[in-house]
């Protein structure tokens, strides 16, 4: 599904002393099937933005369209349930939403609410626990007996079980150990490639942004600071510093080597391996 | 913001009322609420209304905000008004519609009672709007302190109160976060039969309880680690101190009381 934001502003608690303008005139377009990464300092409005994508929040001004859905909703007849079935959101620390007696029940909670036929349930359950890499023995256990990492997987499986067309992920790897983090990112990446799921990811890991994003949006104080391909975003180092973000380590190192040895190389989106080769060959030219 | 959230919310500020010692505010408000019930003549109501308006002005709280904050209580005020009109049957009949009659004394009593209620509510919300919850707790602990002599656990009660107050906003944030997460999984609290809706609360309540227990455990550990052992010999970071402002407030209040006694005679 396509997602378009047109001059969207959002204010929490308008007309009270607690009024807080969290988004200012945000506009962008996400084509169907894209992998978009949203970055920005804490409090820059990332989570507020994401909550517009399944109608949890409706813009105070401006328009959001998600597929055929238009926000703000003007008619009472429009059901948000259908939208929420098609746009799956995993919030920060999604394991806090677990509540059911068994892992099975919790994973199938979403599909049940969305009216998936009973006969498909078992199949879906098997599918998602294999996707996220959960042990089959765990499905009859209480989710509260599991480790933090396993709980996170259960919660993500619960979102995937409704088979959304759009997957919205708010810092899904925060607090995971390095291996689990890589596994989880690979899972999202393969879902995106194989099932053509439109993916919107909020992350503080610039390496992940560089590796997976087709397109990046940089938020700062509720405004879009910049948007574009990762190459272009990461080539503008000064702009990134302004919004308290750092370069991915590989690019940072490349820039430093470039400066130290006066190499005059440029970053055009090469892989770390190609970067290394370029550096070596131009160092070789120098010494000869 | 949903208006029910505003009632009892602290609005930081630097007005005369904000800077009063919380004990002064508590004493004045509690005694004022009692005295209010001795008003029996319109002059008394006029005096108390003036006192309330002066307090609002001194607190610099915006009047629309204050009135909006007490929206939930309007219902009770209106209800009280009509109940008194219905049950009081004294004096002349002013107005009649079938079995429904409005008596002169009934009308007078309803206006008096609901006006009293309104002053009471405005005054108490002025307290919570201008006094941080922790200040109120400290003031209560200090004022009730003498009861410790009879082995009443005043310090512990105050601690429980301040911890609960401290975690109300946290719990509300948590409630919002979890209900959004469950709404994303298709929970609908707004439609369906009553039974459906009751069931829809389970996915909200269980994570809330689990979170609260976990937080309580963490807090207990953190307090123990930092050497907390109870009230005995514990000093305060923000010691309460009366200032000249409190003397001014006390004088003002006593003048109102004297005027009131004078009016009543
Ligand atoms: N439920 C809420 N009520 C009031 N203010 C909020 C709420 N959620 C977020 N905010 C405020 O909106 C701003 C953006 O927050 P958020 O979208 O959570 O940012 P991020 O996810 O980038 O950290 C912050 O200043 C935050 O304090
Ligand atoms: Mg966030």
B180 has a chain A CB within 8 A of its CB: yes
Structure token digits, residue B148: 């410790």
pLDDT higher than threshold 50 for residue B153: yes
For residue A60, what pLDDT is reported? 94
Indicate whether B224 pLDDT > 80: yes
Q: What is the pLDDT of residue B228?
A: 86
pLDDT value of position B8? 56
Per DSSP bridges, beta strands A215-220 and B93-97 are: unpaired
Determine the structural domain holding residue B35 and report its residue range.
8-131+241-264
Is pLDDT of B4 > 60? no
Which residues are within 8 A (CB) of B87 and not within 5 positions of it... i.e. 6 or more apart? B106
Could you tell me if B177 and B215 lie in one domain?
Answer: yes
- B118 and B15 in a single domain? The answer is yes
What residue spans define the domains of chain A?
3-247, 248-288
Homologous superfamily (CATH) of A3-247 is: P-loop containing nucleotide triphosphate hydrolases (3.40.50.300)
State in Å: Cα A90 to ligand 2 middle.
12
Regarding the beta carbon of A225 and ligand 1, being less than 6 Å apart is answered no
* Spatial distance between the Cα atoms of B55 and B48, rounded to a whole number of angstroms: 10
Atom of ligand 1 nearest to the CA of A51: 17
| pLDDT at position A202 | 96
Per-residue pLDDT tens over the stretch A23-33: 999 999 999 99
Q: Whose CA is nearest to atom 16 of ligand 1?
A: A45
Model pLDDT, residue B62: 85
pLDDT in tens, B50-104: 999 999 999 998 888 888 778 888 888 888 888 888 887 777 777 777 777 777 7
Pick out chain A residues at pLDDT < 70: 286-288
The answer to whether residues B49 and B14 belong to one domain is: yes
pLDDT at B204: 92
Looking at the structure, tell me whether residues B16 and B120 fall in a common domain: yes
Q: Of residues A158 and B155, which shows the higher confidence score?
A: A158
Q: Which protein residues have their CB within 5 A of the ion that is ligand 2?
A: A 47
Say if B236 is an interface residue toward chain A (CB within 8 Å).
no
Collect all residues of chain B within an 8 Å Cβ-Cβ radius of residue A89: 181, 184
pLDDT band at residue B2, thresholds of 50, 70 and 90? very low
pLDDT at B7: 44
Give A81's contacts in chain B (Cβ within 8 Å).
Answer: 186, 188
Q: CA-to-CA distance for B65 and A73, rounded, in angstroms?
A: 28
The residue contributing the CA closest to ligand 1 atom 3 is: A12
Q: Average pLDDT, stretch B180-207?
A: 86
Instruction: List, in order, residues 6 or more apart from B71 with CB less than 8 Å away.
Output: B3, B4
User: What pLDDT, on a 0 to 100 scale, did the predictor assign at position B264?
Assistant: 79
Across residues B225-242, what is the average pLDDT? 82
Residues B12 and B127 in one domain: yes
**CA A92 to ligand 2 centroid distance, Å:** 7
The yes-or-no verdict on residue B37 having pLDDT over 70 is yes
Paired with B95 in beta bridges are B102
pLDDT of A286 = 60
CA nearest neighbour of B101 among B113, B115, B90, B114: B90
**Residue B63 has what pLDDT?**
87
| Whether B183 and A56 lie within 8 Å, measured CB to CB | yes
- Please report the pLDDT score of residue B87 as a whole number: 80
**CA proximity to A230, closest of A256, A203, A257, A253:** A203
Do B156 and B115 sit in the same domain of this protein?
A: no
Q: Distance (Å, rounded) from C-alpha B141 to C-alpha B196?
A: 45
Ligand 1 atom closest to the Cα of residue A49 is: 17
- Please count the structural domains in chain B: 2
Q: What is the pLDDT of residue B1?
A: 37
Contacts (Cβ under 8 Å, ≥6 apart) of A72: A58, A59, A63
Question: Model's pTM, two decimal places?
Answer: 0.78
Same domain, B82 and B154: no
Which positions in chain B touch A98 (Cβ < 8 Å)?
207
pLDDT at A129 (0 to 100): 93
B233 within domain boundaries: no
A250 to chain B, any CB pair closer than 8 A? The answer is no
ipTM over 0.90: no
Strands B93-97 and B100-103: antiparallel
| B124 and B252 together in one domain | yes
Q: What pLDDT, on a 0 to 100 scale, did the predictor assign at position A288?
A: 53
Question: Does the structure show a pLDDT above 80 at B129?
Answer: yes
* pLDDT number for residue B3: 37
A199 forms bridges with which residues in the sheet?
A: A35, A167
């Amino acid at each position: 599904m396509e997602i378009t934001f047109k001059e969207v502003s959002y204010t929490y608690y308008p007309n009270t002393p607690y009024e807080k303008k969290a988004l200012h005139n945000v506009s962008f377009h996400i084509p169907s099937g894209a992998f978009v990464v949203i970055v920005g300092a804490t409090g820059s409005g990332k989570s507020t933005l994401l909550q517009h994508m399944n109608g949890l929040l409706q813009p105070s001004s401006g328009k959001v369209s998600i597929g055929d859905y238009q926000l703000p909703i003007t008619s009472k007849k429009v059901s948000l349930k259908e939208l929420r079935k098609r746009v799956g959101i995993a919030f920060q620390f999604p394991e806090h939403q677990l509540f059911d007696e068994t892992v099975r029940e919790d994973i199938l909670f979403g599909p049940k609410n969305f009216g998936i036929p009973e006969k498909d349930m078992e199949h879906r359950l098997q599918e998602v626990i294999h996707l996220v890499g959960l042990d089959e023995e765990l499905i009859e256990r209480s989710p509260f007996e599991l480790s933090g990492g396993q709980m996170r997987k259960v919660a993500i499986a619960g979102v995937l079980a409704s088979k959304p067309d759009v997957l919205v992920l708010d810092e899904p790897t925060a607090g995971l150990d390095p291996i689990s983090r890589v596994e989880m990112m690979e899972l999202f990446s393969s879902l995106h490639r194989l099932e053509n799921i439109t993916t919107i990811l909020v992350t503080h890991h610039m390496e992940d942004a560089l590796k997976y994003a087709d397109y990046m949006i940089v938020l700062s104080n509720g405004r879009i600071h910049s948007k574009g391909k990762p190459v272009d975003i990461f080539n503008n180092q000064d702009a990134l510093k302004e919004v308290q973000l750092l370069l991915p380590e590989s690019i940072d190192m490349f820039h430093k080597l470039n400066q130290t040895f006066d190499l005059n190389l440029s970053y055009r989106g090469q892989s770390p391996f190609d970067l290394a080769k370029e550096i070596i060959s131009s160092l070789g030219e120098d010494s000869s | 913001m949903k208006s029910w959230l505003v009632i009892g919310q602290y609005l930081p500020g630097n007005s005369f009322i904000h800077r009063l010692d919380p004990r002064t505010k508590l004493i004045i408000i509690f005694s004022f609420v009692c005295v209010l019930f001795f008003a029996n003549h319109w002059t008394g109501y006029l005096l108390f209304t003036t006192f309330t308006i002066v307090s609002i002005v001194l607190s610099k709280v915006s009047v629309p905000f204050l009135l909006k904050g007490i929206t939930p209580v309007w219902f009770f005020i209106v209800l009280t008004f009509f109940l008194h009109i219905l049950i009081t049957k004294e004096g002349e009949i002013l107005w009649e519609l079938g079995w429904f009659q409005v008596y002169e004394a009934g009308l007078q009593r309803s206006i008096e009672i609901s006006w009293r209620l309104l002053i009471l509510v405005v005054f108490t919300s002025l307290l919570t709007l201008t006094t941080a919850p922790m200040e109120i707790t400290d003031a209560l602990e200090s004022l009730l302190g003498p009861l410790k002599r009879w082995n009443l656990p005043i310090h512990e009660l105050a601690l429980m109160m301040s911890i609960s107050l401290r975690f109300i906003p946290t719990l509300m944030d948590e409630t919002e976060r979890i209900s959004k997460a469950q709404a994303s999984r298709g929970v609908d609290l707004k439609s369906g039969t009553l039974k459906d809706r009751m069931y829809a609360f389970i996915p909200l309540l269980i994570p809330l309880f689990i979170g609260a227990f976990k937080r309580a455990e963490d807090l207990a550990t953190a307090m123990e680690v930092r050497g907390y052992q109870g009230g005995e010999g514990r000093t305060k970071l923000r010691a309460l101190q009366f200032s000249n402002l409190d003397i001014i407030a006390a004088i003002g209040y006593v003048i109102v009381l004297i005027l009131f006694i004078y009016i009543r005679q």
